[in-house]
Chain A
Amino acid sequence: MRAPTVIFQVTAIGKNSGALGETVRSVLYWVRRTPRLAFRYLIWVVVEPEGFARSPALYEEFRSWGVEVMVVPGAYRTPLGTTGKARALEFACERRRALGLSNSSVWVYHQDEETCVGQDTLIGISEFVEAGRHLIGTGVILYPLDWTGIPSHVQELTRSYDDFRVLDSMTMPGNPTTGFHGSHFLARADVEDDAGWDAIGYAPAEDLMFEARVRARFGSVFGVLKGFAYEKGAFSVRDQLQQRRRWVHGVLHAVHRASGLSLRRRLTVAYSGLSWFSALPSVAILVASLGLHYGPILELTGVFTGFIWVSMVLAYLEGYRLHAEYIPRTASLAHLALLGVIGALIDVVAPWYALLTRPSTSDFIPKDRPAARSVRRARATPDVLTPRRIGAPSFRLSSVALVGEIPEPWE
């Protein structure tokens, strides 16, 4: 019986080269130190030309490790003309089809540029593909990388605990609370390539659309992927705000413009969005209650308020407990609570900020450690790329030629 193949596919712009390098190394490190995995593996790094141009030396190094580096040609167009990450993902689908890798014995594990894997991730993947009961799987993501305990990091604790809600919703028919991930998910290659990522124009919520398409075409084929993935939070509240803005634009796009969503899905997505949007007015109404008198209505709302408050606090507490083995305790509990409140306020404001600003395809969230960024910038200067350095064997160059034009920043 043949062993399945898992493609570890990192799809990114490629500008966060430090994070990307660590992600790839984490895969290489753990596949060699995890016995009895039930799969073979390939590593694909799919980046945009501007990302490649920023650190060509790193990508050459990747190639020397056997990693398949694919630079999505600037001229590449999908049939429906999608842009952004969906375009790169569709490009990878086409490559798989062309290479004969779009079949039931190949799986694709999707990673963002900062999605490190651990031994647990690999064993979870191994179990999942060996069982073969589900066609798509996703799991819990922790955010311990580069943890500094700033508000945007504390806020991410809640996302990890919320992943259990995501897993439940995703495995239920109809995905009632709209749960899915854009990274740390595993898809059988033929299923992914059949559903595809193409959409008309810019699709900021490509993961949501993909999940909806798979569900519509294959039914409820989603399962739980055991093992964590390890990512990192935004390095500033500004970055956190930008990141959330992109998500909100994704939700709004899905509700208003996405043609592939059924009415029912649109309604559930719209309701999830509405819940998020209601946070800021809720806080405002709470503050206003100090001066205004809402009267007997409070006797009704008071019944549910306790549950909402406790649920929110629980997400921080359980999120912290999930991370307890992975992050240093950098502050007292009271200090953490304060940081959590600040992080939460950013999330409260984010949807309205998104509503008042235009979607942008050029939003770039730095994921390289601020201290490391300046060092790497110095390292990545073109003088590193001497002809000897880039004079890789011809087969490397031919494999580059397979995926299209590569910008030549050394010229």
Chain B
Amino acid sequence: MAARSRNLETAVESIEHELARATDELAFVRSRDDDRRSDPENDPPTARRPPGDPSRAGVDLDRTVARSDRGRFSAAPSAGTSTSEGGRFDRFTVARYNRTMGQVHARRRTVARLVLAAAALISLGLVTLAVLAHEPEPPVWLAVLPVIWMVPVPFFVLAFRGTHRVLRAVQFVLPEES
């Protein structure tokens, strides 16, 4: 009896859930139409719709999804209720991203050469100073201290190599709207 009751509760829950999603879907479709009429900039709000018959939206997706949960795919947030005003995130456009990544990509070789040249110059200067200083042999315990400076060297070398490898191998630019 208890099991049957639980099953019944689950079924009711599922139906309520589907009803909720259907309501959301309806609200979305209606508000999308409203948006189309009032705000052409919003067109086309395709993000929540795959290509195909709109009336089938949220139904003909993944067939492995439990029947009672299929409606979830149409759980698109009700359109535009709160997003008519762009926040600070409205500056985050593809064009701006592409400009930034394009510049990073374009100057990667120059940056790599400058890094190596500057590193070599600084190191040369430091080594020259150390040689010219003619410092006496320190006690062993003191001499090992600067070895601690060497600990992160492999990490920095790998980071430098990896950064330039990924910049060379990956085309970061995204397609822009025509």
Contacts and interface: CB of A to CB of B under 8 A. Distances in A.
A364 interface: no
Contact of A293 (B51, B90, B136): B136
A25 B83 contact: yes
A285 to B, nearest CB: 5
A164 to B, nearest CB: 4
Given A3-B61, A105-B62, A168-B162, A305 B126 contact: yes
A68 B94 CA distance: 28
Contact of A285 (B72, B103, B148, B163): B148
Interface string B113-138: 00100111111111101110101111
Contacts of A271: 154-155
B59 to A, nearest CB: 11
B23 interface: yes
Interface in A103-117: 103, 105-106, 116-117
A39 B47 CA distance: 6
A318 interface: yes
Given A33-B41, A278-B148, A310 B48 contact: no
Interface string A298-314: 11011111111111001
Nearest to B70: A100
A259 B41 CA distance: 52
A373 to B, nearest CB: 17
Contacts of A308: 149, 152-153, 156
Contact of A294 (B94, B98, B143): B143
Interface string A101-134: 1010110000000001111111110010000000
B151 A164 contact: no
Contacts of A295: 135-138, 142-143
A68 B75 contact: yes
A374 interface: no
B62 A278 contact: no
Contacts of B79: 32
B130 A299 contact: yes
Interface string B1-35: 00000000000010011011001100010000000
Contact of A306 (B73, B118, B138, B157): B118
Given A105-B61, A274-B151, A305-B123, A33 B42 contact: yes
A325 interface: yes
Given A271-B155, A402-B17, A314 B111 contact: yes
B38 interface: no
A64 B130 contact: no
A123 B94 CA distance: 8
A399 B20 contact: yes
Given A99-B72, A105-B62, A314-B115, A307 B153 contact: yes
Given A41-B76, A228-B100, A303-B123, 4 more contacts: A65-B77, A100-B64, A301-B147, A302-B126
Interface of B: 13, 16-17, 19-20, 23-24, 28, 41-42, 44-51, 60-62, 64-66, 69, 72-73, 75-83, 86-94, 96-100, 103-104, 111, 115, 118-127, 129-131, 133, 135-138, 142-163, 165-167, 170, 172-175, 177
11 contacts: A3-B51, A5-B73, A32-B83, A66-B78, A118-B92, A164-B167, A228-B97, A228-B100, A325-B96, A395-B23, A398-B17
Closest 3 CB pairs of A and B: A118-B92, A306-B122, A3-B50
